[in-house]
Structures are given as C-alpha cells and as structure tokens.
Amino acid sequence: MITIGERQTKSEIPFDVERIRADFPILDQKVHGKPLVYLDNAASSQKPRAVIHALKHYYENDHANVHRGVHALSERATEAYEEARIAVQKFIGAPCLRELIFTRGATEAINLIAQTFGRVHVHAGDEVILTALEHHSNIVPWQVLCWEKHANLRVVPINDDGELRLDELEKLINPATRIISVAHVSNALGTINPIQKIIDLAHQRGVYVVIDGAQAAPHLRVDVQKLDCDFYAFSGHKVYGPTGIGALYGKPQHLELMPPYQTGGDMISYVSFEKTTWNQLPYKFEAGTPNIAGAIGLAAAVEYLEEIGRDSIASHEHRLLEFATERIASIPGVRIIGTAKEKASVLSFVVEDMSALDVGTRLDIEGIAVRTGHHCCQPLMERFGIAGTTRASFAMYNTLEEVEAFAEAVEKIVASARPRAGASLNGDYPYPQAAAPSTREAAEEIAEVFEVVDDWAEKYEYLIDIGSKLPAMPDVLKQECNRVQGCQSTVFMHARKKPGTPDVIEFLADSDADIVRGELALLQRLYSGQRAGEVLAFDMPAFMQRIGLDKNLTQGRRNGLAEMVQRVMRFAENVAGQKP
C-alpha cells in the first residue's frame, strides 16, 4: 500500500491544501469533541471567505432590486448581478450572456427545460432517454412530462462497475427519440459519463441532449461550446457558492423558441390585459426578483475555483479518491459500489451486516460527515440490489490525513459489526412484556440511565445495546402493511391488542439499522404492554427533551422516530376507541 508520505512526494502539481483550508472557516471546528472531517461535499460543499465576504459586502453596501431602479444602489446591484453572469458564463464556456440563465439550482433548471423545451418537442408516442444512474432531479421532471404527453421514458442500463452501456444507448435511439438527459457525473457512484460521445451520437440522429452537470461543475473543466450540448445545468452550492442559486446554459435557438417557464415581473417586455410580450433573453426565464446575492456569491465561488486552478484541484481530488479507494477496498466486509474507470471524487460503499445509516451515525460520532442512503437515486440502488450506500465525497480542501482518519474509523466500525440473526418463520414469537407497571414508570427508568450520561457517544452505545436485545420479529410480519414510511432505513412495526386484555397494546418491530433498533427498543420499553389510554397520554416530546435525544438525533432521525411514535399512537387510538 502507498503511504501518505509517498503520495505527497508523487504529487506533480504543488497544491497547498493547508492554505486552501485556511480560506474555509467552517472547517476549523470540532464535532462531538473530534476535529471535523467534512466528506459530504457531493451534497453541498463549504464556502470560502471570498464567497462569504462577497455576500456580506453586497448586503452591507450595494443591495437594492435589480433592473428597475433609477437610483445608485439599484444601479450597483444590477451591475454586480450582471457581472456575476459574465463570471458564470466564462466558467462553463457559454459563448453568449443571453444563453446563461440564473436558476435556483440544477433541479429548477431541469424542470424549466422539461416544462418548456420538453413540452414543445415531446408529443404522444415520443421517447425521452435517461440513464440508470440519474438523480431523481433528472428523472421526475421527465417522468411528469411523459405522463402528461403520453410519451415514454427509456433508460440506458449500466454495467456492474456503474458505467453506461453505450452499445445499449445506440440501440435505444430510434425515430421516436426526442431528448436524452444525462448526468455528466453520477452523484451516487462518481462515474464520469462519456458525454461528448453521447452528444455526438445523439446529434447524428437529430436528438437533443440535456446535461445535468450538478456533480461535474465542482470537479471538471466544462466547456459547453466545445461539448455542443443543447442544455447544461448546475447548482451553485456544490461549487463552493451559496444555496438557492444555479445556472442553466441553453443554445439560443432553443431558448428563443421556448415559452417562459414562470411569468410575472422582469420577464415581460409589455403587459396589457389583452396581450403580453416577453422580455429578451436571458430575462425571459428570470421572472420576479432574482437571487441577486446568490448570483454574486456564485461568481465569487467560481472565480475562487479558477484562481486555485481547476487542473490542480482535479489532480488533488484524484489523489484523495485513489487513496481512499485503496484503503476502503482493503477492509474485509466492505464492498465499493461504483468502480468505473473514470470517476470523480465520490466513494460509495456498503458494509456487510450493517446499514448505511449506522455506518454514517458512527462516523458522525468520530466527527466525520458523510452521506448515507439512496442519494436520491432509488432506481440506481435497485439496480445494485441495495437499500443505500455510505458515500464519502471529497473536495479541494480535504487532506490525505482526513482520508486516513476516515478509513481508520470505517475499519473500527466494520470490526464492531455483528452478524444479523434471522428470525424463524414458524413457531412462537413472544411479544415483549411490559418493562414497568406503567409508561410513566418505564420512562423514569430510562431517564435515570440517560441522566447519568451526557455524552452522545455513550447514549448512542446504550441505544445500540438495547436495540441488540430487541425481541425477534418474524419475517412473516415484515410486510408492506407493517412498514413505517418516512424513515431513512427499513422499519417494520406490528402492533396488536394483548390477548385477554381490554386495552393493553403490544408490538414487535425491526429495522436494518442498529440505531433505529435502539429507538424501537426505547419505544417498546415505554409503550409495549401498557394501556392504550396511558400510551396516548404520555408526553413524548417532553420525554425526548428530558433525555436529550431531541438534540442528539438528526432532523431526519427525529422525523423517522416521530413516524414510529405516530404508528403506535394510531394503534392505541383504535384500541382505546374499541374499549367497551
């Protein structure tokens, strides 16, 4: 294995990562008492001082509405907004300013294309081609269009490495094909798609091409003119810019003919009650007051990126990815998902006998931020036969030392994985006994444990421990009707009225995530074997606050827990309602 030292001396381009880190104030902090290692960059990257200062400067000095005022501030704001457009235009090599539309992000850009260009060009019986590795943002807008137009979606398959099957794409294109919409880089796997080949192939057959560049813009040099794509979309917050801003490039001949996406102020040239005419490009597609500060912040971000040097960034990130891949691939019980030859800095993996949610939660306790779950790519997860992955994604400010800390943490977590015991299909499956004579007393007992530990790591271990003792739920009860929706992991709960009692409820439950099993065990201790009326009267939010879980669980986990509690409450209401 190559050591960190060897990798650094192998570097061809000097890259002062410590200097870059100093530009990102957020990185200098501890999380759960450990130095923050931020590896969730594919979801959203952090902001350099240049961006923070640009926003602050704008709001402190120049803010006013754009394109409308006759006063100095409006003039300055308009100038800054339009200069931002020039910076973003240069960033993606758009030939002309009128081809560069500010949007809220990639999602809004793709919706805009589907609802305007798509509506004009796609008719009944036509086809739109997507690929198996698209983000939901590049699936659902097309799906909705196809439903509306009675058109059909076709999907280019991938191989087991997560690479597009171009041979299959060639077969899919036919006279009914109107549009191909494809990610430049896959957010879940990191695959860099051969978009130049796809664009050339499509154009030879008269098919338009939309590129979802959300994951490419932070890592690759993009030149829309050279690519000759019809549309290119990306989000500001993934290229070190603010949230709520992004850009769409479109060929002018398309943009001119497209109807507006949204209507209102600024996008019109003349309005009367009889007739309205549209403003010129790009304003025809920027209805209402735009995200002025966002555009200015985005311009600062892309200028910062260019200053560091996109090739230097790419080669640094490539080193991080290579090192991480080597380290993670060598851990027994870990499988990397997405092993394409051409990859940007995304590393997705699954751990045997452990859900991605558990891996992510344990990494968080070590101060390491990663993403877990389906990454808004549910069809892709289905293609690999998995519920989700743990994804580490690297940015220019990450270091080899951080990758090493991440790999060591994964090693430790994997070593703690316990093989799952399967519940038998037949025979008895006892429901748990009441943990205490009443819900209130059960709550007191739990609170006593939680009150002596204020460290989240210890509370977490306690939850994992009680979760490991959760009474087995037989597979026969793990059916769709018992599935709790709205959770980040797979959760089943089956409740019943305790036989021989008028109003006592009891339930069995299970999840693929240890942390969720811990939460289910907590709920069982509180509620299972208790009278429905008492269950309904118990103040769960106050209890969560008392034991501190309201602060320790993430919003996503709190929502999941609330869904589980809701399920118990609905059942308790039914039982209480049936009581004679």
Kindly state the smallest distance separating residue 490's Cβ from ligand PLP, in Å. Answer: 23
Report CA torsion sign: 18, 20, 25, 29. negative
Q: Give me 540's structure tokens.
A: 């769960």
How many residues line the site for ligand PLP (CB under 6 A)? Answer: 12
- Degrees to nearest 5, angle at CA 78 with 76 and 79: 65
Instruction: Compute the distance between CA of residue 89 and CA of residue 101 in angstroms, rounded to an integer.
Output: 9
Judged by CB under 6 A, does residue 40 bind ligand PLP?
no
Q: Closer to ligand PLP by CB, 371 or 567: give it.
A: 371
In the window 82-121, what residues touch ligand PLP (CB under 6 A)? 105-107
Going by C-beta distance under 8 Å and a sequence separation of 6 or more, which residues neighbour residue 77?
58, 62, 63, 64, 65, 66, 69, 292
Which residue from 235, 279, 291, 528 is in contact with ligand PLP, where contact means CB under 6 A? 235
Judged by CB under 6 A, does residue 45 bind ligand PLP?
no
Segment contacting ligand PLP by CB under 6 A, of 4-12, 77-85, 209-217, 476-484: 209-217
Judged by CB under 6 A, does residue 214 bind ligand PLP?
yes
In the window 171-190, what residues touch ligand PLP (CB under 6 A)? 183, 187
**Of 481, 378, 366, 463, which is closest to residue 413 (Cα–Cα)?**
366
Q: Give me 372's structure tokens.
A: 């877990």
Kindly state the smallest distance separating residue 310's Cβ from ligand PLP, in Å. Answer: 19
410-413 long-range contacts, Cβ below 8 Å, gap at least 24? 410/328, 410/331, 410/334, 410/351, 410/359, 410/363, 411/331, 413/351, 413/354, 413/358, 413/359, 413/362, 413/363
In the window 323-352, what residues touch ligand PLP (CB under 6 A)? none
Residue count (the chain)? 580
Segment contacting ligand PLP by CB under 6 A, of 133-141, 260-268, 415-423, 493-501: 133-141
Kindly state the smallest distance separating residue 440's Cβ from ligand PLP, in Å. Answer: 44
- Degrees to nearest 5, angle at CA 56 with 50 and 60: 145
Kindly state the smallest distance separating residue 154's Cβ from ligand PLP, in Å. Answer: 19
Residues serving a catalytic function are 376
Which residue from 89, 111, 131, 138 is in contact with ligand PLP, where contact means CB under 6 A? 138
Q: Closer to ligand PLP by CB, 262 or 276: give it.
A: 262
Instruction: Compute the distance between CA of residue 518 and CA of residue 470 in angstroms, rounded to an integer.
Output: 8
Q: Closer to ligand PLP by CB, 242 or 367: give it.
A: 242
Judged by CB under 6 A, does residue 528 bind ligand PLP?
no
* The one-letter amino acid at 476: V
Kindly state the smallest distance separating residue 236's Cβ from ligand PLP, in Å. Answer: 8
* The one-letter amino acid at 227: L
Kindly state the smallest distance separating residue 291's Cβ from ligand PLP, in Å. Answer: 13
Instruction: Write out the residues near ligand PLP by the rule CB under 6 A.
Output: 105-107, 135, 137-138, 183, 187, 212, 214-215, 235
